[in-house]
Amino acid sequence: MYRNIEKYLNQWRLNPRKKPLMLRGARQVGKTYLIDVFAKKKYKHYLKINLEQNSQLRDIFESKQPNQIINDLTSLYQIPLYDNESLLFIDEIQTSPSAIAALRYFYEERPNLHIIVAGSLLDHTLNEIKYSMPVGRIEFAYMYPLNFSEFLLALGEAGLETAITQYSIGKNFSKLLHQKISEYLRLYFFIGGMPEAVKVYAETKNLIEVKKVHTSILTSIEYDFAKYGTRKQQEYLNEVLHYCANNIGRKVKYSNINKIAGSTILKDTFRKLEMSRIVHLVHHTKSSQLPITQYRNKDVFKPLFMDIGLVCSLAKIKLTDLRNLTGDFEGSLAEQFVGQELITGSDFFIEEKLHYWTRDAKNANAEIDYLHQIGNTIFPIEVKAGKRGTLKSMHVYLAEKGKKQGIRLNLDLPSYGMNLKANSNLPNKGIFEYNLLSLPLYFAAKLHTFDL
């Protein structure tokens, strides 16, 4: 199963200024499998250790002396660790703060030994670590469930993936290709990108088997909650987990989750789920110019889930009746999909943060699903689950901010309208002109590649 991040790993391998690489991502997104495949392709020697499965290995890192650590590991496993020829992979490193701290000394004393580390709950350890973090001595990469491009490749549809990749603005796009890709897009809405779920479907074409995988993953996530604190805290985590899946694209209101728990408790619960990379928080911002975070409101946000397939499972959608799914939830799934794609469309060494915009004023309420930076420009993105839909919010945003370019993602064929006329109905704004790039939803991850 090919992952796009593999190309980035090879760039890291060849970089003479490389540092130990920390791969961050949620549980079961395929981190260990990826490194196994990569190591077997690119290295003569590969040593993988798991500090959760073999807790005794943690003692080896207490010395924080790279040469001694290497000697101990090679003696135990009889696998050589040579500079530029070997890869040392430390899995579940979050169980050993000493091992994290030791990465600094590997960079300083053995910079040519290739080291990758990973861990499912790594962000919690990084947030609470008592040792001095190896700031400037390690680099990061971020991994997520398969995006739609990777999903197509996993199902043997490289031709469809190429059609998306090679498209440029202004070109015609085949209706037949669009129809075929849209069918796979709908399938992706319900299968999602968790590697095991995609693998099971690729092998069996059985959606019931996919449902079993989703249920198993969600159960393991809930079991992980036992590591977060008291039983009451675990209950809050479970409540927020289900709330997020059922309220994609809606501003979080703590009173709708639990009327007894205080906002401080629930805010901390969201933070824990975000650090576990189970949810992404889309923060409200008033920014229309860079930096996009300048007017971000950390206390106002909408939830996105880690994977669209898991959203459907938590929402109790039956995978045997996909074509009859209608209503507001299709809009939520479209927004979830675009959010996932925007995150994975970023560079692998950047942790992408998403934002949205609202204008709450008398007779002029408006909301833009995403404000997204492409190059050095912030673009408003409206997401539609069908082929049609009004653009009143887009018009309000463009008129108020003095912008001329908007992006719409829907299920229609690509189009680019120039010098369109609209009336935002805002005081003193009148009729204005704007350009609208309209693309199918499945181009979301490719937006950064277009010359806008």
Q: What is the pTM of this model?
A: 0.92
Tokens in use for 441?
A: 């939803």
Per the prediction, the chain carries an average pLDDT of: 90
Phi, psi of 423 (to 5 degrees): -125, 115
Specify the higher pLDDT residue, 9 or 135. 9
Question: Do 23 and 165 belong to one domain?
Answer: no
Q: Please, which pLDDT band fits residue 363 given cuts at 50, 70 and 90?
A: low
Q: What is the 8-class DSSP label of residue 315?
A: T
Domain count for the chain, please give it.
2
The rounded distance, in Å, linking the Cα atoms of 262 and 281 is 19
Q: Which residue has the tokens 């580390």?
A: 117
C-alpha to C-alpha distance for 30 and 195, rounded to whole angstroms: 6
Does residue 348 register a pLDDT over 70? yes
Confidence of residue 387 (pLDDT cuts 50, 70, 90): confident
Q: Between the CA of residue 146 and those of 45, 54, 150, 336, what are the distances in Å?
A: 28, 29, 5, 14
Looking at the fold, whether 119 and 203 belong to one and the same domain comes out as no
Give the SS3 label for residue 79. coil
The type of residue at 198 is V
Which of 111, 142, 173 delimits the end of a domain? 142
* Residues of the domain holding 236: 148-271+307-337
- Residue 321 pLDDT: 52
CA angle 95/98/104 to nearest 5° reads 120
Let me know whether 61 and 125 are in one domain.
yes
Q: What is the CATH number of the domain that holds 44?
A: 3.40.50.300
Residue at 369 is within a domain:
no
pLDDT digits (tens, 9 = 90+) for 151-206: 999 999 999 999 999 999 989 999 999 999 999 999 999 999 999 999 999 999 99
> Would 358 be classed as within a structural domain?
no
Percent of the chain with pLDDT over 70: 93
Number of H helices, E strands in the chain: 15, 13
